[in-house]
Chain A
Amino acid sequence: MLEAMKWEIIHIHNEPDSSLEVHTVEVLVSNIEPKLANSIVRQLNQLCPLDNLRHVKRVQRRTSQGKVELSVILCLADEHEKDTEAVPIGIQPFIRAYNLCPIRTKVAKYPARSKEEWEEQCKIWPTSFHPSTNCDGVATLSDEDMKMIFHYMKVAIQQTKLCYSGAKVLNAAVIVDPVSRKVIASANDQTHPLLTTSEPSARYGCIDRCVATTVPPESHPNTAGSNQDTTLQKFSLRRCSDIFAGVSCLNPWDWAAQELGKQNSLVKRENKFTWHPLRHAALVAIENAAERDRKLFPNSDVSESKSEALDVLLHTTDKCPSKRQKIEEQIIDKEVSDNLKHTEIMRPYLCTGFDIYLVWEPCPMCAMALVHQRIRRIFYALPNPNIGALGSVYKLQAEKSLNHHYSVFRISVPEQDIEELILNTSDNTSQC
């Protein structure tokens, strides 16, 4: 448990990048007569609503020499227009009518996320600040939750080792239902033709396979002898990062350069593909979850009336998804405890409400697939500086246009723990 103490959960905000440096956007402002402020602001809100700048106050109030001075934002400035006097045609009559003198100035582009950031913003133009109401922040996680989260991250990390194949560690994904605390699906990268873990039961009893598929000695830089244990022990995250070359999300374009010709000797499994450049761990896990769904609920015609009744209930109660979910859970629990056969109600819509644990931050393909599949929370341990989509290169959770937004957390795991979890071939799954 001491080990768990050092683990840490970091919420990766779904806001555009955070720093005290204020991102700004240019607007046209003008001083106005305080007496006219009311009607000017009302008209401007109609003429030029500041839809994407709701955090910005329309009016700035200053006191100079005991006199109140007001200036008002007229509209966004055209960023390509060099001429500072240029005013959109739509509000030219308005400006003439009130005899205004527009000048350019800057305002904060995004709402502040911290008090410090807000104070910085207000130095250039007043904004409003609403402390985060994000109900998925780390602060709301109970000790029990944390324990569960760490546990499943360990499961995921151990799984990278279990599919230790071709001297390479693979990414691992575990989809978990946080309510029942059960694993819904799990998977490893399957972009590599040598992979021998396409059986669904691969998670269990993999040790043999692990040994069996371990490395010809020459492919490992640090190998002294042919003893596999030596090979494994000499593996170090720091010393040989090429051991990560097989992690699909880190090196998505490397599939074409993988060892050739060996797949012919592979026994073909029920799986259609012996290798597939897009079968990253997250995508395979989604597929496995869908497969489970199909098996558990073979009748696809979900009882309409029942689910509609449930939906009506949910829809009218609250708009906050977490509350809705709680209510949904309560209803489902009640149904289960009543021992009714209404299993249709429990059928998940895609992966709604489920969490996914990934050892490496996903690439944009996997991250977007998780949006489509309506995952609730993503936990990853290691950032993906190459092409990470959840903070490192892109920040998909901050794209407002998407129809679903998950919460993203990075679990900072001490390096030695990762090494231990990946390498320790003795059974340590009973931790936590």
Chain B
Amino acid sequence: MYGFKRFKDESGGLTDNGREWNADKARLALEKLEVPVGLFNWMNVDAGVFPLYIQATRHAEMEAIDTLLEEWQKIGFNQLEVANRLSECDLYVTCEPCIMCATALSILGIRKVFYGCANDKFGGCGSILSLHEITKKLPRGALPAKGFECKGGVMADEAVALFRCFYEQGNPNAPKPHRPVRICPSTG
């Protein structure tokens, strides 16, 4: 799960309101037995939880992007207008975006990404690859590639706690054979 913040002031990091992200949406995911990637909800960006067992690419970031793009296309923004708006957007997400999502965020030209815990298996913002610094990797001027600023470790403990609870509960959508699903009474 995710959240976008249209950047309005120069506070940069989390404001007091920013701390409201937390567990509500992630817990919702938890109840629906989806992976809780947590939420900072700004701008009413809020998509339903998509079943990952059919399409494992519907990560929270991708859902968020789709919701935004749909909304903006309805308004009638063209590509340039959408690009300009995205370049003023920040993303808040519980877990470091994976390589796929990090590339996507770079393609979209997002301004900043704040994440909770690092993703040491798939992370695309420094853990495995550094796609937020893609301009450093590619020869200069070869492409209009865009990196983005990235800040990890935001409320990391809370993010980790959510994940821990989810995986203790067991992921029913994981390939079988796998740990059995247990009802976790503490998720309410």
- Residues of A at the B interface (CB closer than 8 Å) are 193, 251-258, 260-261, 263-264, 272-278, 283, 286-287, 290, 293-294, 300, 307-308, 311-312, 315, 349-350, 352, 363-369, 371-374, 386-387, 393-394, 396, 399, 401-403
Give the distance in Å from the alpha carbon of A402 to the alpha carbon of B129 in the complex: 11
**Could you jot down 11 A-B contacts, CB within 8 Å?**
A255-B107, A256-B83, A257-B79, A260-B78, A287-B55, A294-B54, A307-B176, A364-B129, A369-B100, A386-B142, A387-B145
In the complex, how many angstroms separate the beta carbon of A214 from the nearest chain B beta carbon? 22
- B63-108 CB contacts (< 8 Å) to partner A: 65-66, 69-70, 73, 76, 78-80, 82-83, 98-104, 106-108
**Which residues of B have CB within 8 Å of A260?**
78-80
Residue on A with the closest CB to B76?
A264
Q: Does B124 contact A (CB under 8 A)?
A: yes
How many angstroms from the CA of A278 to the CA of B63 in the assembled complex?
12
B92 CB → nearest A CB, Å: 19
B146 within 8 Å of A (CB atoms): yes
Q: Quick one: which of B29-78 are within 8 Å of A by CB?
A: 51, 53-57, 59, 62, 65-66, 69-70, 73, 76, 78
Q: Is the CB of A253 within 8 A of B99?
A: no
Q: Nearest Cβ in chain A — how far from B12, in angstroms?
A: 24
Are B177 and A311 in contact, CB atoms less than 8 angstroms apart?
Answer: yes
Chain A contacts for B102, CB-based, 8 A: 364
- Are B103 and A364 touching (Cβ within 8 A)? yes
Whether B144 lies near A363 (C-beta < 8 A) is no
A216 and B69 CA atoms in complex are apart in Å by: 29
CB of B175 closer than 8 Å to a CB of A:
yes
- B134-150 vs A, Cβ < 8 Å mask (1 yes, 0 no): 10011000111110000
B70 touches A272 (CB 8 A): yes
B82, A256: Cβ atoms closer than 8 Å: yes
| Contact indicator B79/A364 (Cβ below 8 Å) | no
Q: How far, in whole Å, are A312 and B178 apart by their CA atoms in the complex?
A: 10
Q: Give bound CA distance, A429 to B178, whole Å.
A: 44
B79 adjacent to A258 (CB under 8 Å): yes
Q: How far is the CB of A198 from chain B (nearest CB, A)?
A: 14
A399 contacts B128, CB within 8 Å? Answer: yes
Binding site for A on B (CB under 8 A): 51, 53-57, 59, 62, 65-66, 69-70, 73, 76, 78-80, 82-83, 98-104, 106-109, 120-122, 124, 128-129, 131, 134, 137-138, 142-146, 175-177
Question: Inside 8 A of B73's CB, which chain A residues have their CB?
Answer: 273-275
Min distance, Cβ A376 to any Cβ of chain B, angstroms: 14
Taking CB atoms, residues of chain A closer than 8 Å to B138 are 386-387, 393
Assembly CA distance A385 to B65 (angstroms): 27
Contacts of B176 in A (CB 8 A): 307-308, 311
Q: How far is the CB of B98 from chain A (nearest CB, A)?
A: 6
Alpha-carbon separation in the docked complex, A314 to B59 (Å): 29
Partner of B129, one of A272, A278, A349, A394: A394
A261 to B78, CA, bound (A): 6
A372, B100: Cβ atoms under 8 Å?
yes
Given contacts A364-B129, A369-B100, contact A401 B120 (CB under 8 A): yes
Tell me the number of A-to-B contacts counted with CB atoms below 8 Å: 132
**Distance (Å) between the CB of B91 and the closest chain A CB?**
14
Contacts of A264 in B (CB 8 A): 76
Asked if residues A315 and B177 are in contact (CB atoms below 8 Å), the reply is yes
Give the chain B neighbours of A290 by CB distance below 8 A. 54-55
A94-B92 Cα distance, complex, nearest whole Å = 49
Which residues of chain B have C-beta atoms less than 8 A from A283's C-beta? Answer: 57
Q: How far is the CA of A289 from the CA of B10 in the complex (A)?
A: 43
* Whole-angstrom distance between the Cβ of B101 and the nearest chain A Cβ: 8
* CB atoms of B55 and A401 under 8 A apart: no
14 further contact pairs, Cβ within 8 A, besides A364-B100, A365-B99:
A252-B107, A256-B82, A256-B83, A278-B107, A311-B177, A312-B177, A363-B103, A369-B57, A373-B56, A386-B142, A387-B134, A387-B143, A399-B129, A402-B122
**Considering the chains assembled together, what is the distance between the CA atoms of A350 and B177 in angstroms?**
15
In the complex, the answer to whether B80 meets A374 with C-beta atoms within 8 Å is no
Q: Are B69 and A273 in contact (CB under 8 A)?
A: yes
B107 touches A402 (CB 8 A): no
With known contacts A368-B122, A393-B137, A349–B175 Cβ distance under 8 A:
yes
Are A273 and B98 in contact, CB atoms less than 8 angstroms apart?
no
Give the docked Cα–Cα distance between A403 and B121 (Å).
8
Write out the residue numbers on chain B whose beta carbons fall within 8 Å of the beta carbon of A300.
51, 53-54
Residues of B within 8 A of A315 (CB): 177
**Chain A positions within 8 Å of B69 at CB level:** 273, 276-277
Q: Would you call A293 and B142 a contact (CB within 8 A)?
A: no
Rounded to whole Å, the gap between the CB of A408 and the closest CB of chain B is: 15
Residues of A within 8 A of B134 (CB): 387
